[in-house]
Amino acid sequence: MRAAPTILHLDMDAFYASVEQASKPSLRGKAVIVGGLGPRGVVATASYEARRFGVHSAMPMGQARRLCPNGAYLFPRFSLYREVSDQVMALLRQLSPLVEPLSLDEAFVDLEAGGVAFDSASALTTGERLRADIRAVTGLSGSVGLAGSKMLAKVASEEAKPNGLLLIEPGTERELLAPMSVRTLPGVGPATGEHLRRAGITTVGELAEAGEDELVRMVGRAHGVALYRMALGLDDRPVVAERDAKSVSVEDTFDVDLHDRVRIRGEVQRLADRCVRRLRESGHSGRTIVLKVRRYDFSTLTRSETLRGPTDDPGVVREAAGRLLEGVDTTGGVRLLGVGVTGLADYTQEDLFAQASASALAAEEDGAEVGGAGPEEGAEASEARPAEPVMDPWSQAPGAEPEPAEERRWMAGGDVLHSVYGPGWVQGSGVGRVTVRFEQPGSPPGRVRTFRVDDPELEPSDPLPLVGYPGVDADG
């Protein structure tokens, strides 16, 4: 614990949904829900307008549609979210060399290490300036917590939402925490919360009064000691500078189980290409190729093949993933597929096609089953956090035959460009038609037009950057 509130926690407000509102003027102030749009989709983020209807992240999309039937339901655009996240993280690194990102929209910052804050007054000034800078650069809002520890800074930012700032003065931690729910503390999920409730403990104050010995008896030594320290507001964890990535992976959950072996192989090839694109974007190569298959009964198989050296060649990764697939029984159907690369390095190995073939004999040994017998614990929960487990609607494997125009997937929220009307985004599609609203960041709300799905003048495009947009208030 520090004597001054010089640890900052930033949490962008309804990040994915706010980016969509900023880039689509007609959605300003409207209920926006981002996530998987199929029958098995889940909500990744809901705008504050949608939350008023009870919609929240990790909720099945079908339930969200029942609660908020008039909301705008959009497919995620992770390339744009990463671009905006990079802008926000760059602002944080101007404050300190010690920035610890937790996700695209959340990070800790050690202000003292950056020499920008040493007491409450300077920390408060820095926090307010950061919020203003984020608004000026991205047009978005973020909530800031300031405290003497990481745990309390995160609690503060949550209390400050949306679009606010809260500073917890050292020495006031226990008083502030006492009336809060035990679920406020990190690591206290539904199961632990219910276990404590049955013991008559519902607030952090009651947790502290229970004492360390009682908590150890209830939940075990490691968890009990940690809970007691958190209830007292004690947390000595340092802010750790951005860690090197250990793996890169992509996966896709399908609306309907796949049974066609040719289709399954095609999806694996496509995922391999997406994985390599992310690998190259991160400036890495990798040595171990991993295939993940979740079957119709939720049993999950993981196979891996280790090459002689690191690669970022899509052909090598496709070949390896294809070989791994040959050893997997997909009878009964496949619900999810994923391809990943681990053993990352900053260089590539020459002649990897040769080494990939040579390593094929070792694939069966390296590809031992990790999951398998029964449903994977937390399977649904993992799908509820699409950090990027969704398919890019515009992806096309290099060298593959182009899809027939009538089969092109015009995903709601996807970016398009018309040769006459210019840039726009897909509002919806079906029955051979696609509806597009033509507008862009900073423009007035645009007009809606409908085209045939195979209209040669309409093409998918990359997202337009959020430049010079005045922003939307997080609280609507």
Q: Which residues are catalytic?
A: 106
Q: Is 273 helix (H, G, I), strand (E, B) or coil?
A: helix
DSSP string computed for 85-139:
HHHHHHHHHHH-S-EEEEETTEEEEETTTTTS-SSHHHHHHHHHHHHHHHHHHHS
258 to 11, 253, 376, 407, 439: CA distances (angstroms): 38, 10, 19, 17, 37
Contact 88, 138 (CB under 8 A): yes
Task: Quote the CA–CA distance of 316 and 287 in Å, as a whole number.
Answer: 11
What sign for the dihedral angle of Cα 188, 193, 197, 202?
positive
Contact 168, 176 (CB under 8 A): yes
Task: Quote the CA–CA distance of 239 and 179 in Å, as a whole number.
Answer: 27
Establish how many alpha carbons lie within 13 A of residue 145's alpha carbon, considering only the half-sphere containing its beta carbon: 24
Task: Quote the CA–CA distance of 443 and 469 in Å, as a whole number.
Answer: 9
Q: Is 69 helix (H, G, I), strand (E, B) or coil?
A: coil
Residue 362 DSSP code: G
